[in-house]
Every structure is written in C-alpha cells, then in structure tokens.
Amino acid sequence: MSKFLSILTCVLFSWLAAGPAEKRTITGTVVAANDGSVLPGVSVVLKGTRTNVATDGQGTYALTVPDEGATLVFSFIGFVTQEIKAGKRTRIDVKMQVDARQLSELVVTGYGVQRKRMATGSVAAAPSSRPERKAARVNTETLADEAEAPAPPAADQPRPVHNTEEYDAIHENPFLAPARHPLSTFSIDVDAASYGNVRRFLRNGQAPPRDAVRIEEMVNYFRYDYSPPTGEAPFAVHTELAECPWAPAHQLLHIGLRGKVIPTENLPPSNLVFLIDVSGSMDEPEKLPLLQAAFRLLTEQLRAQDRVAIVVYAGAAGLVLPATSGSQKEKILAAIDGLAAGGSTAGGEGIRLAYQIAEQNFRPGGNNRVILATDGDFNVGVSSNAEMERLVAQKRESADGRPNVFLTVLGFGMGNYKDSKMEILADKGNGNYAYIDTILEAKKVLVNEFGGTLFTIAKDVKLQIEFNPAKVRAYRLIGYENRALRSEDFNDDRKDAGELGSGHTVTALYEIVPANPTVEFKLLGSVDSLKYQQNRVNPRAHQSGELLTLKLRYKEPDGNGSRLIETTVTDGAKNGLQTSDNFRFSAAVAAFGMLLRDSEFKGKATYADVLRLAEGARGRDAEGYRVEFINLVKSTRLLAKK
C-alpha cells in the first residue's frame, strides 16, 4: 500500500510540475523591418481567443499563453499581419513589413503616442504619460482611396511657423432708413466661436484680425437671465429698449430668446458620430491632445440609450469605432485615447463617411448629430469653401428631403486655423460652432451647455422686424452680417436658418435713431427722389405708439412647416439706470467688439465705458465667465495704451 502511495505521489508531483510549465508569459519588442523603429500600439492577439494586448510606447508587449501550441497574431495599420507560433519560447521579437496596399497616412495608435510618418514610411515615436488603454483599430473596409500628399516634417526637425489662418470678410451692417428699407430679416445665431478665438489672440498679447470679430457671437457667448417659455412655443421672446450707451441720442433695442430647458434624463436618445481630424496639422498640444480631453468630458455625459460612433480622417477616412452604447464608456474612451496625428487632410471624405454612419444608425425622434472636431485645414479632395458648403447642404437632407442629421463644429488650434470654412460648415449643416482653446472651454461647451450644444428644440429660426418710419429715422443691426436674409426669405420655409438648443439663449441688438428732427445724424446716404412711385407713411403710424413689429418663424426639429410668433415694441426708451443686467452686459460686449474692430459705428465708446457697464452687470456669474470678460477688457485696455 505504501509503495502504491509513493508511486501515486510521484505521478501527482510530476503532473503538477508539468502543468504550470506549459502556461508562461511571452515578451518581446515589435519594430518596423525597414528601419528598426519601434511600433507602439501594435495589436498582439492570442489566436482563437479574445486575449490581447497592445505594444507600449517602446514597442514592447507581454502576453500569457496556455501551451506550446499557442499562436500570436501581430497586426497594425499599414503593416503586414503576422502569425507566429509560440512553441517553447518566452521571448518573441517581431519585425513587421510595411504593407504598400494599406493606407499609411491614417495613423491610429494606442496610449496617445504622438507619431509622425516620414518620407521613408518609418515611424518616430515618443512615449506618452497617458494612462494605458487598448489601441483603437480602423476598419480598413471603410477607408477611402488614399490621396497623395507631401510627407510632414520628420519628428526631429523643427516645424516651420506660418500663419495661414483664414477669416471671411465682414462688412458691417450700415444704418438704413425705414422709409426705403422697412424690413430687417436675419437668421438667429447661437455660435460662440468668435469670442473664444478673440480671447486667444488677446491672451497672447495680440490684436485679433478685424474679420475674426463677429459681434453677435461674442454677445451670444454669454448666457442671459431671460424668463423661460410658459406656453406651447419652445422659447420665449423678450425685448428691452433704452438709450444707447455709446450714442446717448440714439436708442438700443435688446432682443432676447430663451429656449425651454429639457432635463438631461428626458432628452431623446442620441445617435452621435464623432468626426475627428487626425491629420498632420493636428499634431500640436492645443489640437489633438486637447480634442481628446474634450471628447472624454463629453463621453462621461452619455447615457446607456445614447450611441456613439467615431470616424477619423487624414489622407483618407476610416471608422475607428462602430455605433457603441454610452454605457460602454471604457470602450469609447479607449478609441479616443488611441488617436494620433499624421498625414494630409481629406475633410470631405470624412464628412461623407460620418453622415453615412449617422444615417445607418438613425434614431427616429432622437438626436442625430455629427460632431466635427478640426482646425479646418482641409487640403485633399473636396476642400474649397464653396465645395464644402454644397457638400454639407446636401448631406443635411435625407432621401425624402427632410433634414435629419444636425452638425456641431468644434474648432481647435492656431496658426493654420480655418475659421471661414468651419463657420460655413456649421451654418449650412443645421448646427452650431464653438472654438475650444482650453479644457475649461471644453467643459463649458460639452458639459455645462450639454443640452444647448447637442439637442435642437427649434430649427430654421428667423426674425423679421418692421420699423415704424413715423418713429424711427434709421436703424442698424449690430452683427449678424453673414446671417442676413432677404425679406421674402422669411416666409419661405425652404430657406435654411439657425437652430436653437435646449436652454439656449439668443441675443440681438439694434441701434435705433429716433425720428426726432433735433437729433443730428449724418450716417445715412442720400437717394434721389423716385420718378415713378412715392413712399408715403400710413397716417395711423403717427398715431400708433408702436416703434416696431417683431415677427419670428421656427420649425419643430423634425418638421417642415414653420410657425409664427408676433409681438410689438412700443416707443419709450428707458434711461441707463433702469436697464437690466442683461441689457447692460450685452451692450458692453457689443461695444467691446466694435472697439476691437475699430468700427465706424463705435460712437463714443471707450474701454473704460465697457468696464463700467460690464462691472455693473455681472449678475449671477456662477461659472465666472463675466468676470473673465471683465479681466480681458482690462488687459486689452492696457495693450491699447502701449
């Protein structure tokens, strides 16, 4: 019996010793075969299982295998996939061959490693301190044909500094006489990109280009304390009339819209497509890394019912992440963290693919939206402003002609920033546009104003004002130059206009010259008397106490027909002491914009006046945005004195 136990013990110990010997960890380094440069982000998979790792910033990996029959699969964008049997080895170093058939311009890696493609096709890598996440991979079946473009500078060479920023020219609205121009018609604008961009210049001690200063976007950067709607309409309309701070003999009309607030838990499910520029021009600290941080914040706001897909574009466009539930945040974050910049910029192809993915995952009654993040420096394929405008205008319409996919544009960076292109995209794509220069700005746009940025409650919102010529000698809309509409566009439901989001506020200002013969006014040009007709003022206009009639049209987010709201504003302006914080602060921002533009309409405005108005109208400033504005004016005032 004892002999039998001894034999059994020996067999048992032999089996135990042999068992663990089979299961072991294999380590190694993966490099490019042509030049020996390390390859971070290579996927290493235990064939036939879901066990996988990715190489780190030094190209190394460690993977546990169960037995000698294990096979390791090494794959990476732009290189030939290799399968290697483990055998008895504990170390396997791999040299990967460049695959000329794959797209080498699209660079997607793990760990946030910043990589640059050289002319030889090799890769220079610098490890990042980002937390480790699995590499995001591109579905190469969705990639468009690669476009040829010059290789970017090598990693060890200084990047040339050129300023190629682009802004559309702004021709300020002039004063108009109601007798000849009784109607003023424009589309609302909830964009706020200009303020963030102007702030960037001023913080760097530079005066912004005149055409970078869009006054309506500066005014609408700030939230105003308007009362919410109480009826069926998705927003409330507020007006206030008072003497004009920079021209006391004139009046300033303040128009405010306030969208209804929909609690996040009650918002419709989202079908979002993150369209991210990973071209070489995004390889700057204030671009792709900041972009990734911004989208991490947005990802944390997603709910289980929301879906997110990620499309990237460089020399071509590719799908990094198929539509994924907001409950799978780690998966979404891994895809975001796995992006790196390199290559040329085929923005048009990216837009097409993003809309295609959005349409494939369309949510009826939901929030269907493409979120484009870029510096706007498109240089491959469809890239001109006119081409991009036509592309987005076409893509915003579904097959049956009803708009269904909205567009949000987030701008990043400096030096090659293409503001003109991104403004057009947002305008023509039924969307909004913001400039992200800091993580705090990302928080403002994507967290604090989450509903307003991403959820539309009214689209094609248009305003038309008829001025009473018996009361108004001249008027001027401040800003909104690129949002002007023809008078007949107001009743044309085919005409695209601006969108209003949940909880959003929209503000517009008119400077008005009263019909008072004692007021000197020289900014109206003269016109010869008409030969075939005469303009006569209705006698009732003199008897009326109405200064103007305000009409507003809007559509439901999924509707085709517009609805009309109409109200009047009576004559009788307040003095400055009676005005609200909303009135004074918006006037301060408008005056600041006119000073930055050196506008011919700035009147007697000074930086001291701007400060006085703003400091007296801080109101409830929980996030400190108004204090920030005040400090910005103070620093600009010092710059102006140099």
* In the predicted structure, residue 383 carries a pLDDT above the cut 70: no
DSSP state at residue 577? G
The three-state secondary structure class of 344 is: coil
CA–CA dist 515, 356 (Å, integer): 55
* In the predicted structure, residue 46 carries a pLDDT above the cut 60: yes
- pLDDT category, 316, cuts 50, 70, 90? low
| pLDDT at res. 315 | 66
| pLDDT at res. 480 | 96
Q: pLDDT (tens digit, 9 = 90+) per residue, 557-595?
A: 888 899 999 999 999 888 878 899 999 999 999 999 999
Mean pLDDT of 452-475: 91
Alpha-carbon distance values, 531 to 118, 402, 451, 470, 537 (Å): 71, 46, 55, 23, 18
HSE, CB side, 13 Å, CA atoms: give it for residue 456: 30
Partners of residue 123 on adjacent β-strands = 117
* In the predicted structure, residue 198 carries a pLDDT above the cut 90: yes
Angle at 252 between CA 250 and CA 257, to 5 degrees: 165
- pLDDT category, 640, cuts 50, 70, 90? confident
Beta carbons of 135 and 43 less than 8 angstroms apart: yes
**CATH class of this structure's domain 21-103:** mainly beta
φ/ψ of residue 333, rounded to 5:
-65, -35
Residue 444, class by beta-carbon neighbours within 10 Å (0-12 exposed, 13-18 middle, 19+ buried)? buried
Mean pLDDT of 484-503: 91
For the chain, the average pLDDT equals 81
Alpha helices in 284-338 (DSSP H): 288-300, 329-337
Mean pLDDT of 402-413: 81
| pLDDT at res. 397 | 61
| pLDDT at res. 117 | 33
- The reply to whether 21-103 and 191-262+458-524+543-617 are identical in fold is yes
* In the predicted structure, residue 105 carries a pLDDT above the cut 50: no
The pTM of the full predicted model, rounded to 2 decimals, is 0.72
CATH of 191-262+458-524+543-617, one of 2.60.40.1230, 3.90.650.10, 2.40.30.110, 3.40.50.2000: 2.60.40.1230
Alpha helices in 385-514 (DSSP H): 385-395, 419-428, 439-443, 450-454
Beta carbons of 432 and 453 less than 8 angstroms apart: yes
| pLDDT at res. 152 | 41
Residue 639 corresponds to which tokens in the numbers above?
């710059």
Q: What is the dihedral of CA 610, 611, 616, 621, to 10 degrees?
A: 100
Mean pLDDT of 323-348: 86
| pLDDT at res. 395 | 64
Torsion region of 78: left, alpha or beta (phi above 0 gives left; psi -120 to 50 gives alpha): left
Alpha-carbon distance values, 361 to 136, 270, 349, 356, 367 (Å): 21, 10, 19, 9, 11
Residue among 388, 391, 352 at smallest CA distance from 370:
352
- pLDDT category, 18, cuts 50, 70, 90? very low
Alpha-carbon distance values, 182 to 176, 464, 465 (Å): 9, 10, 8
| pLDDT at res. 40 | 60
Beta strands in 535-594 (DSSP E): 546-555, 563-570
Q: pLDDT (tens digit, 9 = 90+) per residue, 417-426?
A: 888 888 888 8
Alpha-carbon distance values, 197 to 87, 290, 375 (Å): 59, 15, 12
* In the predicted structure, residue 351 carries a pLDDT above the cut 50: yes
**Percent of all residues in the chain with a pLDDT value above 70, rounded to a whole number:** 79
* In the predicted structure, residue 396 carries a pLDDT above the cut 90: no
Torsion region of 344: left, alpha or beta (phi above 0 gives left; psi -120 to 50 gives alpha): beta
Question: Which sequence spans correspond to the domains of the chain?
Answer: 21-103, 191-262+458-524+543-617, 275-454
Q: pLDDT (tens digit, 9 = 90+) per residue, 69-79?
A: 899 999 865 57
For residue 120, give the amino acid letter.
Answer: T
| pLDDT at res. 115 | 35
Tokens 């044909």 appear where? 145
Q: Which run of H or E residues covers position 458?
A: strand 456-467
| pLDDT at res. 145 | 37
What number does CATH give the domain 275-454? 3.40.50.410
